[in-house]
Structure 1
Amino acid sequence: MSDDEQAGGVPIGSTSLPSSVDQGHYPTFNTGYSDFPTAPATASQTLHPAVAPYFAADFDDDLYTGGAPGGESDVSIFLDTWRGVSLRHPNSANVVGSKASTFRHIERPRTVDRKQLQGDRFDIQGINWEALETTRETARAIRENFAHASHGRNHLHLNLAKPLPDTDSFFRFRRMNTEHRAWIAHFQLRNVISATSQHDIYYAKGSKVMRTDAYNMRTSCLMDLPPVAGSSDAGGFRVTALTASSNTLIAGGFKGEYAITNLQSGVGAPPTVGSVTLSYNGIATHVHAFAHRTSAHTTAAFCSNDAKMRILDCETGTFTHTFPYARPINCAATSPDGRLRVVVGDCNEALITNAETGQPVETLRNHTNHAFACAWADDGRYVATGAQDSQIVVYDARWWRDPLRFIATEVACARALAFSPVGGGKRVLLAAEADDVVNVIDAQTFASRQSLSLFGAIGGMSITPDGGDVFVACCDNKVGGILGFERTGYGQEYGLGGLWRRDWKYGDQRMVQEEPAEWATDEEMRRDGRVVKGPTARSRRGLGLGKLIV
């Protein structure tokens, strides 16, 4: 992770960066680390355990400017830039109207729901593209071109990864609330939203964790976190990572702080706060919770920029393990049985580790840049990693040597990954890019996807435990908010058998045996405590019957 940090944790689109950045001059770093102490060649680019980090400072190979305040991902700046290009090339077919230069001053609707949508006159973010004398489709294409040019997207890295066709329809837009703005404390960290149901959506706003619901019936501040004793951050607790389960919410901070609150406790109960690390630049980059396989206690795995992973028993409040690595750790995911863990960080490889000892059991070398996202499916079989090389790599845990699929992202790199939960309907892999796109990938075939398209920097996404809803935090300074999408497909039985579908390898129709639709059989789901809805409710998913009163 880069040491260039956003000051104060402000919404994307702020203009509080130094003038050099405001003018479009971004710092660059040499990729050879020639100014740092010499380290063994094999260790300097790996995550393998070490006594201490090799370097006192950590600079990223490529500064990703799109998510920084005032960067190209800010929609108002994008439209203003596009307008300037249009004035220089007025005869182009892809110009934008004069109102684009004053877009930041338009009034925003408080909410947008599906009934209000009017195509280019009013899209899911309430943008009137007709008034801008263009179309949403044109804006999407122009913005993608701008993003690829400004982010230095290297297509040589994508020799194995292929873009998937956008042919699926797993979710549909339901509602957006423009008043709820998650804040991104560091431009590379995009896990600041977590939802446990339609009625319990949590997002980070500086030192606060806010709570709302899909219908905006209530909004409250769940936690207002003061500076932690011993922290070097005089500016307070800035939330960089967030996760929530049915009874516990866990937050990580910019200076290594953490906070835990019991969601079942009384209103106003203070959270438990402390420090994961007091190291300089010890950012809590990611946190995920899991049930310990022997004690069944809620356990948190904190990834940190000081190149260590720490395991916290949330019920006793004690750190039980510290696993040191050679490079900063950006994300991790524990297997459903609690035995293995995938770990990614500031190197080109991913590790499969023993979850109890931290020792690597497999090293996966299929990325060409630092990785920031990973996920483990509920069946224990599939693992996905995402990196700044604009690739998502999917593995079958039964055979790590050959990845199952290389998938190219659409606009920017994947910053957050999540598989749909067991009992959540036809299985999918969600991949939130840094800007504009959440990919919903068919996790039966990994051959097609649905693109949930929006405009603005993405602070993360969360799928509810029943698999019925996805919530996306758009952090743009003008068109940001929380967008909700709901499942559209019917509940499906585990085994679909043979289905007629087009085999694109040969281009003709033939009988192909589909993979199972769910992560577990119908009988297994009846006994699985992770499954939220019963078989009848699952079969009715997508029919719109949940709100009927009989």
Structure 2
Amino acid sequence: MRWMMSTMAEVMVKQILMTTSCKVTDITSVHARKGKDIQGIPWERLNITREKYRQTRLEQYKNYENIPSSGEVVDKECKQMEKGGNYYEFRHNTRLVKPTILHFQLRNLVWATSKHDVYLMSNYSVIHWSALSCNLLEVLNFSGHVAPSEKHPGSLLEGFTQTQISTLAVKGNFLVAGGFQGELTCKRLDQRGVSFCTRTTYDDNAITNAVEIYDSLSGGIHFMASNNDCGVREYDMEKFQLMNHFRFPWPVNHTSTSPDSKLITVVGDHLDGLLVDSQNGKTVATLVGHLDYSFASSWHPDGRIFATGNQDKTCRVWDIRKLSSPIAVLKGNLGAVRSIHFSADGQFMAVAEPADFVHIYSTRADFKKRQEIDFFGEISGVSLSPDDESLFIGVWDRTYASLLHYSRRHSYGYFDSYL
């Protein structure tokens, strides 16, 4: 992956909406049912309709590609799956929360630990938002000096200063933030201070592309860091010790571990993905089909199905029993697949493009039916809560930055005032 900072001009069409005055107020499901735009965009006061602006975005948005015309090939060869699914419904748009992105290819910066609790990046800060109390709390600020309060072998006791955070992972009680210079910072959410700081590599191309926290084969909590130096490193989260360091022929952009922790999906700056043995790092299968570099992966909880996301604008779904070709090729609307998450119950798969669209596919319908969530703005991350009751989407935009909250639809209903 090429290290690169992007501006809005590089990835978005010039927005008319930037000059529109907008009172910063939250949008609720009550507002939406009365016809108000979920982002509060006053279309009635603009000289363009939402439908026309959507069409302009689809025509003019420039998808970033490392392999020229990879998206155009997909557009010609693949059809989109049927819309019409209605699995999650809009609940709230929180304008107080301002998600941000530092690297245009890395979008895993939003994590839900419950149906009310969300952690995300906002400039140099990791913040916690409670959808229940509507409180915003700064958890960790990287603009100054951050140093560990615990002593562990290999920890950099001097810590870091002004760390630029490229990726984030939060699960249960643990938070891991990865930086542009290979920094890793670990924190227990129920304790003050930082537990562990380390630098994975001093290579010039050291950026931490992704972090995953998971249950290891031994039963403890581990995390895995994917780096641009072609390395994947596994750490124990109790003693914060390096357990494994696997090396690959190309920069690794994302990894995900199978539910039984025996296999790792590895994707990066190569057309092919890899299925790797988690104990020795040896490749057990090669995934052939994508036309560009991949930046996302995720496992279905059944341990047989997994998915990979690519700059060719597709999410490809694989079955470990037959890896010769994907069982589904799911095409996006305007850009690369930057984030993928399966629901804990395995019924849904959330796929995020770089901007404007999140698709919720039904696994029961063999990925042939989807719900399309449609808005305007770059996506900093998407996260399903552990109980699948909430879906959160971070929207980065100069005017309409916010956190979108969707709730799982059920056959029964609640009044809006109930949580």
TM-score with structure 1 setting the length = 0.69
The code of the aligned residue for 2:183 comes to E
* SS of residue matched to 2:24: coil
Matched, 1:416 2:333: no
Q: 1:72 to 1:241 in 2, by over 3 A?
A: closer
Structure with greater proportional strand content: 2
Greater shift in the superposed pair: 437-446 or 158-167: 158-167
Matched, 1:134 2:73: no
Q: Are the equivalent residues in 1 in contact too, given 2:232–2:247 (CA < 8 A)?
A: yes
Task: Give the aligned CA root-mean-square deviation in angstroms.
Answer: 2.5
Higher relative contact order (CA 8 A, sep 6+): 2
Q: Deviations over 1:187-239 (max 9, x none)?
A: 100011101113321001233210112245211111113457889x9971111
Q: Are the equivalent residues in 2 in contact too, given 1:382–1:395 (CA < 8 A)?
A: yes
Matched, 1:237 2:176: no
Aligned to 2:354: 434
Q: 1:125 to 1:314 in 2, by over 3 A?
A: same
Matched, 1:350 2:273: yes
For 1:119 and 1:547, locate their aligned partners in 2 and report how far apart those are by CA, in whole Å: 16
For 2:109 and 2:418, locate their aligned partners in 1 and report how far apart those are by CA, in whole Å: 33
Which of 229, 251, 275 is 1:306 aligned to?
229
Matched, 1:274 2:170: no
Q: Are the equivalent residues in 1 in contact too, given 2:182–2:202 (CA < 8 A)?
A: yes
For 2:401 and 2:320, locate their aligned partners in 1 and report how far apart those are by CA, in whole Å: 38
Matched, 1:384 2:290: no
For 1:154 and 1:333, locate their aligned partners in 2 and report how far apart those are by CA, in whole Å: 24
For 2:351 and 2:176, locate their aligned partners in 1 and report how far apart those are by CA, in whole Å: 22
Aligned to 1:247: 173
Matched, 1:177 2:91: no
For 1:250 and 1:108, locate their aligned partners in 2 and report how far apart those are by CA, in whole Å: 35
Percent identity of the aligned residues?
26
Aligned to 1:89: none
Q: What is the CA-CA distance between 1:109 and the residue it aligns to?
A: 2.2
Q: 1:389 to 1:246 in 2, by over 3 A?
A: same
* SS of residue matched to 2:60: helix
The code of the aligned residue for 2:367 comes to F
Matched, 1:468 2:382: no
For 2:195 and 2:417, locate their aligned partners in 1 and report how far apart those are by CA, in whole Å: 35
Count of matched residue positions in the alignment of Structure 1 and Structure 2: 405
Q: What is the CA-CA distance between 1:463 and the residue it aligns to?
A: 0.3
The code of the aligned residue for 2:59 comes to N
Q: Are the equivalent residues in 2 in contact too, given 1:108–1:479 (CA < 8 A)?
A: no
The code of the aligned residue for 1:241 comes to T
Q: 1:207 to 1:316 in 2, by over 3 A?
A: same
The code of the aligned residue for 1:197 comes to S
The code of the aligned residue for 1:276 comes to T
Aligned to 1:212: 129
The code of the aligned residue for 1:71 comes to E
Q: What is the CA-CA distance between 1:396 and the residue it aligns to?
A: 1.2
* SS of residue matched to 2:297: strand
Q: 1:160 to 1:374 in 2, by over 3 A?
A: farther
Q: Are the equivalent residues in 1 in contact too, given 2:266–2:273 (CA < 8 A)?
A: yes
Matched, 1:457 2:378: yes
* SS of residue matched to 1:203: strand
For 1:147 and 1:213, locate their aligned partners in 2 and report how far apart those are by CA, in whole Å: 33
Aligned to 2:151: none
Q: Are the equivalent residues in 2 in contact too, given 1:223–1:271 (CA < 8 A)?
A: no
Matched, 1:402 2:325: yes
Aligned to 1:2: 2
The code of the aligned residue for 2:355 comes to D
Q: Are the equivalent residues in 1 in contact too, given 2:315–2:331 (CA < 8 A)?
A: yes
Q: What is the CA-CA distance between 1:173 and the residue it aligns to?
A: 0.7
Matched, 1:124 2:29: no
For 1:448 and 1:245, locate their aligned partners in 2 and report how far apart those are by CA, in whole Å: 29
Q: Deviations over 1:261-310 (max 9, x none)?
A: 11233xx333422222222121110001111112x111001000111000
Aligned to 1:500: none
Q: Are the equivalent residues in 2 in contact too, given 1:436–1:453 (CA < 8 A)?
A: yes
Aligned to 2:84: 167
Q: What is the CA-CA distance between 1:70 and the residue it aligns to?
A: 2.9
Q: Deviations over 1:27-54 (max 9, x none)?
A: xxxxxxxxxxxxxxxxxxxxxxxxxxxx
Gaps of 5+ in 1: 7-67, 80-99, 491-541
Which of 411, 414, 417 is 1:544 aligned to?
414
Aligned to 2:22: 107
Gaps of 5+ in 2: 148-155
Aligned to 1:198: 115
The code of the aligned residue for 1:176 comes to N
Q: Deviations over 1:54-76 (max 9, x none)?
A: xxxxxxxxxxxxxx3333426xx
TM-score with structure 2 setting the length = 0.90
For 1:148 and 1:466, locate their aligned partners in 2 and report how far apart those are by CA, in whole Å: 36
